[in-house]
Structure 1
Amino acid sequence: MGKYGDWLVMLIAGCIIIFWLYRVFYRWLHEPPGMNTKLLLSEAEDVDDSDENVRFLEQAGYEVTHGKYRLPIHIDLDGQQLQSRLFIDLIAEKDGKYYIVKTSRDRMPMDWTGSGVRDRLLVYSLLLPESDGVLFIDQKERTIRTITFRFG
């Protein structure tokens, strides 16, 4: 190549590298904030095979990968420190898709309206955005309901 050919090749290669770095940075900057799922669930309890919810999920074709997990929440309310917890009952997997599992409670009946489902289960979907939804198990009715949230 001539005297300008080498510079042209270097200029094109440099532009491609700069464009690639820009795209990587742009994608990282605009990703939704998420927690490191493996780090979060590393403190989950072991799966209790004698649990009726675990057996029910396994009969339905799910593999329960993590047991109960308690996520401590520290709240600052006008300078006053409050404590709370968020409970994940189980994490299950089926066909390469991961789900957060919540179980029904007699003292907290589920309101199956849009706002009721949102108020009760949206927080779990936002907590682990890598999950493919929330499974709600009702042992009395022997049902597993799959809830996914889409925005916009």
Structure 2
Amino acid sequence: MQKGDGTVVVLIIAVLAIWAFYYIRGKMRETVDNASPFDFLIDEELPDDDATRLLEENGYEVISGKKRIPIEISVNDGEMLHSRLFIDYMASKNGLYYTVKLAKDRKPVEWTGSSIRERLLVYQLVYPNTAGVLYVDLQQRKVHCFVFAVQLYDE
């Protein structure tokens, strides 16, 4: 064994360790990037009702039933108020995910931009990785898809 052989072995091990680190890191990042952002919402048992059947007839796959999202509201850094937001279903189509709200007789949506914004935008904001909000009207047997594009700056 020559005098510089130990140095060469250490350099080879260092290069292999650096390569292994970046390879494993890249594979982990690829796995995370390819994972569904809504895996945590997927339900084993889905309700079999008129709404899920209508969504499926329109090409959507229902991936979860009703979800309750707790909300805590701090008022003036003091009093705490509690509320919750309900999403009726989560659905997917062509690799895109949607939150689903069912139409209600006692709270009809007016077909104006401001009314739709007030009633449905929050459901896309809760899950920003969704492609939009599906509004299911069982009486008319229609699925309306709303996609919100929020511009934060005037151009």
Which string of whole-angstrom CA distances, capped at 9 and with x for unpartnered residues, describes residues 28-51 of structure 1? xxxxxxxx6444x26x684112x2
Q: Which residue is equivalent to 1:74?
A: 72
TM score, norm. by length of structure 2: 0.68
In structure 2, what is the Cα distance between the partners aligned to 1:77 and 1:151?
27
The percentage of aligned residue pairs carrying the same residue is 46
In structure 2, what is the Cα distance between the partners aligned to 1:127 and 1:114?
19
1:1-152 to structure 2, matched below 5 A, reads 37-39=38-40, 41=41, 46-49=45-48, 51-78=49-76, 79-152=78-151
Could you say what the CA RMSD is over the residues aligned between the two structures, in angstroms?
1.7
In structure 1, what is the Cα distance between the partners aligned to 2:117 and 2:144?
14
Structure 2: give runs of 5+ residues left out of the alignment.
1-36
TM score, norm. by length of structure 1: 0.69
How far off is 1:110 after superposition? 0.5
**Compared CA separation, residues 76 and 45, structure 1 to 2 (3 A):** farther
How far off is 1:119 after superposition? 0.6
Note if contact 1:45-1:69 (Cα within 8 Å) is conserved in structure 2.
Answer: no
In structure 1, what is the Cα distance between the partners aligned to 2:46 and 2:51?
11
Work out which of the two has the higher radius of gyration on C-alpha atoms and give 1 or 2: 2
In structure 2, what is the Cα distance between the partners aligned to 1:71 and 1:48?
19
In structure 1, what is the Cα distance between the partners aligned to 2:45 and 2:71?
22
Note if contact 1:45-1:68 (Cα within 8 Å) is conserved in structure 2.
Answer: no
